[in-house]
């Protein structure tokens, strides 16, 4: 499969007074056409900031400091603001984390979906926009789309609001969909429905998707490849199959051992000792070394680089570097 998105050495920082907090530090990964790429990590690892950097939606005091983001053959960081307006929504769709705050509470559902369609398809008539709005609502699982068009966000359940956001995100047939923890606030049954919906839409629309989550159980069912983030860095990039069979990085192994469904029946869960460091107080060397069971002297002084050790397998760890 050919590469749709190629993120190279992305660095995004937040500037407060005289200090610089590196929220995304040297992140590189690629997303191929038609695949689902999972970006996984604990809260504060830099997943959401990475996605906002791709869309050029990081606002002051945040700033993309350096890097390259090649999408459909052009570097998004070199695009003008006007050019980015044609990319967002049209070529890259985004499902934001919290549907209640992402939707405007004073506009009806149909108006919010229709506005996105109209902005990126100015040749469509009002009737055509309305017809496409109803079609999208039906596609995302609403049996009575005409009624849903007239409702406001507060009249919908959390799962229904998430379906509306999905409808908005796919309304212009994007080639890449970014889903930022779209199931976090949902119950297990609704979560499963949303996952199945997204998987089906990726296939039917021939899209690629970046699925951001902290839930490894979801990625085991959904993804093709996976990137593990920690303290603003990607520590491992692997195929989902190989990752769950034999994770490479000690942090990845710790994550798997701490998740019930993945630890194995009857096995005792093992917590990763310590906690994620503050981005303003990162340790020297490997940022995971204070919590790592395999720490070596070099880990405390020099940060390892990402190294390719096999097909679709990259890891940032001295266990694999001679």
> Which overall architecture, per CATH, does domain 3-51+60-73+208-320 show?
3-Layer(aba) Sandwich (3.40)
Is the pLDDT confidence value at 263 over 60?
no
Query: What is the Cα–Cα distance from 91 to 189, expressed in whole angstroms?
Result: 31
The Cβ-side half-sphere exposure at 61, using a 13 Å CA radius, reads 10
Q: What is the pLDDT of residues 41-50, one digit of tens each?
A: 988 899 999 9
pLDDT in tens, 130-168: 999 999 999 999 999 999 999 999 999 999 999 999 999
Strand partners, 5: 31, 71
Res 17: pLDDT: 83
271/319: higher pLDDT: 319
107 CB neighbour count, 10 Å cutoff: 13
User: How does pLDDT run across 286-296, given as a tens digit for each residue?
Assistant: 999 999 999 99
pLDDT in tens, 29-75: 999 999 999 999 988 899 999 999 999 999 999 999 999 999 999 99
235 and 288 Cβ atoms separated by less than 8 Å: yes
Q: What is the pLDDT of residues 176-225, one digit of tens each?
A: 999 999 988 788 898 999 999 999 999 999 999 999 999 999 999 898 99
């Amino acid at each position: 499969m050919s590469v749709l998105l190629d993120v190279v050495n992305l660095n995004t920082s937040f500037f407060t007074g005289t200090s610089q907090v590196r929220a995304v530090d040297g992140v590189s990964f690629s997303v191929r056409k038609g695949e689902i790429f999972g970006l996984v990590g604990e809260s504060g690892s830099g997943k959401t900031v990475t996605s906002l950097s791709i869309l050029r939606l990081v606002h002051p005091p945040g700033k993309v400091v350096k890097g390259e983001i090649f999408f459909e053959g052009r570097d998004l960081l070199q695009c003008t603001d006007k050019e980015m307006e044609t990319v967002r929504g049209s070529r890259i769709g985004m499902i934001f984390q919290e549907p209640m705050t992402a939707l405007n509470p004073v506009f009806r559902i149909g108006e919010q979906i229709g506005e996105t369609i109209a902005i990126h398809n100015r040749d469509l008539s009002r009737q055509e926009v309305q017809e496409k709005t109803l079609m999208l609502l039906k596609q995302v699982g609403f049996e009575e789309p005409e009624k849903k068009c007239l409702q406001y966000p507060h009249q919908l359940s959390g799962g229904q609001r998430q379906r509306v956001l999905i409808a908005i995100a796919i309304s212009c047939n994007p080639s890449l969909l970014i889903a930022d923890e779209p199931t976090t606030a949902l119950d297990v049954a609704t979560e499963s429905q949303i996952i199945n919906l997204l998987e089906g839409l990726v296939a039917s629309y021939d899209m690629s998707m970046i699925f951001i989550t902290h839930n490894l159980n979801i990625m085991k069912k959904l993804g093709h490849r996976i990137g593990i983030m920690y303290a603003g860095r990607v520590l491992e990039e692997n195929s989902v199959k190989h990752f769950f069979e034999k994770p490479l990085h000690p942090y990845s192994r710790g994550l798997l051992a701490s998740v019930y469904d993945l630890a194995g029946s009857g096995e005792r869960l093992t917590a990763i000792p310590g906690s994620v460091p503050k981005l303003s107080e990162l340790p020297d060397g490997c940022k995971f070394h204070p919590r790592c069971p395999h720490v070596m002297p070099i880990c405390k002084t020099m940060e390892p680089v990402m190294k390719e050790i096999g097909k679709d397998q990259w890891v940032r760890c001295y266990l694999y570097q001679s």
